[in-house]
Structure 1
Amino acid sequence: MNCPPHTFSADPPDTTRLKTVLFCQTCGRAAGIDDWPTQMDGERVHRIDCPDCGTTVWSGLDADDSDEQKRVLTPTA
Structure 2
Amino acid sequence: MNPSPRAFSTDPPDTTRRKTVLFCQTCGRAGDIGDWPTEMNGERVETIDCPDCGTTVWQGLDEDDEAASNRVLTPTA
Task: Indicate whether the TM-score tops 0.5.
Answer: yes
| Same amino acid, percent of matched pairs | 74
Rg larger for:
1
Counterpart CA distance in 2 for 1:64 and 1:47 is: 17
CA deviation after TM superposition for structure 1 residue 66, in Å: 2.8
Letter in 1 for 2:37: P
> Where does residue 16 of structure 1 map in the other structure?
16
CA deviation after TM superposition for structure 1 residue 2, in Å: 6.0
In structure 2, the gaps of 5 or more residues are 69-77
In structure 1, the gaps of 5 or more residues are 69-77
Instruction: Please report the RMSD computed on the Cα atoms of aligned residues, expressed in angstroms.
Output: 2.2
> Where does residue 54 of structure 1 map in the other structure?
54
TM, length-normalised to structure 2: 0.70
> Where does residue 73 of structure 2 map in the other structure?
none
> Where does residue 27 of structure 1 map in the other structure?
27
Counterpart CA distance in 2 for 1:67 and 1:29 is: 30
Greater Cα offset, 35-44 or 9-18 = 9-18
> Where does residue 36 of structure 1 map in the other structure?
36
How many residues matched?
Answer: 68
- Relative contact order higher in (CA < 8 Å, ≥ 6 apart): 2
Counterpart CA distance in 1 for 2:50 and 2:6 is: 37
3-state SS of paired residue (1:63) = coil
CA deviation after TM superposition for structure 1 residue 16, in Å: 2.7
